[in-house]
Structure 1
Amino acid sequence: MTILLIDDDEDDRKLFFEATAEYDDTIKYVAAADAREALLYLNNAANVLPDFIFLDLRMPGLSGEQCLIEIKKDPRLAAIPVIIYTTSRDEKESVRLKGLGAAHFMSKPVLPDDVYYMVSFVLGEKWS
């Protein structure tokens, strides 16, 4: 399994990586510090496409929402579950982003154990 995490916060990326490794140490982890870097990775045919994308919303430059739109309009990428992983707790924003194709909307946990449980919940689901 491969996960792409798109997040501009290095500490959040590190915490997320530690939680995924605790959940399953065979997971391959790819990180992008912003949406443009992620789209370059995803559009490079030499790279393995991830099984899941965790996407922060609030990033400089291209926003997470714009990145989600780009991912979902590409037929090669559209079926990859995109989980919005953000500090936002705005319910209206969650509904709007799910309408754009996001599989889940999750507020970033503060505690490492909470990140672990969030990751295990998402990765433990049955995906079609």
Structure 2
Amino acid sequence: MTNALTFMIVDDDADDCEFFHEAISEINPLFKCLTASNGEEALMKLRGEAQPLPDFIFLDLNMQRMDGRKCLAELKKDLNLKDIPVIILTTSASQKDIDETKMLGAFHFMTKPSEYQKLRKEIAFVLSQNKSGHPGITL
């Protein structure tokens, strides 16, 4: 099995997407990163051009057009997408948001850290959980 995983970051903040991409590349330069600026764009890419499908989706909650909650609900209804682990990556630390997204099927909830190294450590922690069916992930 190859350790070249594919990630999708769904966030309307271009700087946050770049921050995430840099952290992923530092964890493993073979990792690939796809981006979408809202839930609607993410679903369109995932249902059309994103092949192979990502191994993990990192999803912001607060976006225009389609927010993260609606996108998560749609992902979990789609037979081809429902098993992709979705990690909520947002500025919110609200227990209500945590509970709601877990109930909708989120794999993990992560409040966006303000420091790069904290983001990198949080991403590495999520990957180390190995619940995505990717044994032997090298970090």
Structure 2-normalised TM-score? 0.89
Please give the alpha-carbon distance, in whole angstroms, between the structure 2 residues aligned to 1:108 and 1:100.
Answer: 20
Q: Which amino acid aligns with 1:57?
A: L
Among residues 54, 68, 73, which one is paired with 1:69 in the alignment?
Answer: 73
CA 1:125–1:62: 2 relative to 1, 3 Å: same
Q: Which runs of 5+ in 1 are unaligned?
A: none
Report the alpha carbon displacement of residue 123 of structure 1 after superposing the two structures with TM: 1.2
Report the alpha carbon displacement of residue 47 of structure 1 after superposing the two structures with TM: 2.2
> Which residue does 1:14 correspond to in 2?
18
Q: Which amino acid aligns with 1:53?
A: I
CA 1:45–1:12: 2 relative to 1, 3 Å: closer
What do residues 24-61 of structure 1 show as CA deviations (whole Å, max 9, x unaligned)? 11001101111111011110166210000000000011
> Which residue does 1:92 correspond to in 2?
96
**Residue 113 of structure 2 aligns to a residue in which SS?**
coil
Among the aligned pairs, what percent are the same residue?
A: 44
Q: How does 1:22-33 map to 2 (within 5 A)?
A: 22-33=26-37
Q: How does 1:21-60 map to 2 (within 5 A)?
A: 21-44=25-48, 47-60=51-64
User: Displaced runs of 4+ in structure 1, greater than 2 A?
Assistant: none
Q: Which amino acid aligns with 1:83?
A: I
**Residue 20 of structure 1 aligns to a residue in which SS?**
helix
2:117 is the alignment partner of 1:113: yes
Structure 1-normalised TM-score? 0.96
Q: Which amino acid aligns with 1:123?
A: L
Please give the alpha-carbon distance, in whole angstroms, between the structure 1 residues aligned to 2:50 and 2:62.
Answer: 28
CA 1:125–1:46: 2 relative to 1, 3 Å: closer
CA RMSD in angstroms comes to 1.1
> Which residue does 1:4 correspond to in 2?
8
Paired residues, number: 128
Q: Which amino acid aligns with 2:41?
A: E
